[in-house]
């Protein structure tokens, strides 16, 4: 019941399934895909703000999240996760490019491993990292969710290109 404290855990039924959001006193600490039935619970504080921003994202009204994050991991993992936040909505980069941005192309496997351990899916957009040649590889929520998220984001970017 510790994490289930009032408002510290919340759920949203999204187009890619049920998402479980947890928060600490410092920020959002995880956002994971869940299988099964939609749990009930009342969101408050940071989880309520996260739910609101996720709803806006899935409605196509939000491209950037403005939430405090409380990510637990190694310094290297945190460095990778911070760099993921620089990938624009609707765009993708390769694991090699991510390694290059972090200053060491030889660290591609370590970068891929850190990307896969991202505890805050969607908000820290690990789904925007793809394999060389545009191949969809590795996503903890399943490749179908990665494909859905990328196509969803691209559909809004393409609409923006032709807006007046």
The one catalytic residue in 50, 126, 129, 149 is 126
Q: Where are the beta strands (DSSP E) in the chain?
A: 9-14, 17-23, 28-34, 93-94, 129-130
Q: Is 50 a catalytic residue?
A: no
Distance, in Å, from the CA atom of 149 to the CA atom of 125, rounded to the nearest integer, reads: 10
- Residue 91: closest CA among 147, 154, 155, 148: 154
Question: Residue 115 is inside which H or E element, if any?
Answer: helix 108-116
C-alpha 120, offset from chain centre = 5
Q: Bridge partners of 93?
A: 129
Show which residues are catalytic. Answer: 126
């Amino acid at each position: 019941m510790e994490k289930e404290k009032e408002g510290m855990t919340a759920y949203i039924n999204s187009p890619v399934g049920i998402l479980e959001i947890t928060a600490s006193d410092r920020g959002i600490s995880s956002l994971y895909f869940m299988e099964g039935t939609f749990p009930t619970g009342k969101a408050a504080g940071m989880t309520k703000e996260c739910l609101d921003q996720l709803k806006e994202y899935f409605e196509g009204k939000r491209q950037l999240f403005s939430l405090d994050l409380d990510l637990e991991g190694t310094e290297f993992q945190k460095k990778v996760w911070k760099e993921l936040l620089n990938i624009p909505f609707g765009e993708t980069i390769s694991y090699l490019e991510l390694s290059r941005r972090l200053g060491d192309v030889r660290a591609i496997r370590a970068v891929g491993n850190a990307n896969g351990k991202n505890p805050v899916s969607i908000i820290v957009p690990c789904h925007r990292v793809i394999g060389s040649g545009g191949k969809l590889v590795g996503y903890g929520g399943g490749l179908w969710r990665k494909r859905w998220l990328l196509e969803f984001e691209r559909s809004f970017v393409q609409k923006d290109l032709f807006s007046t």
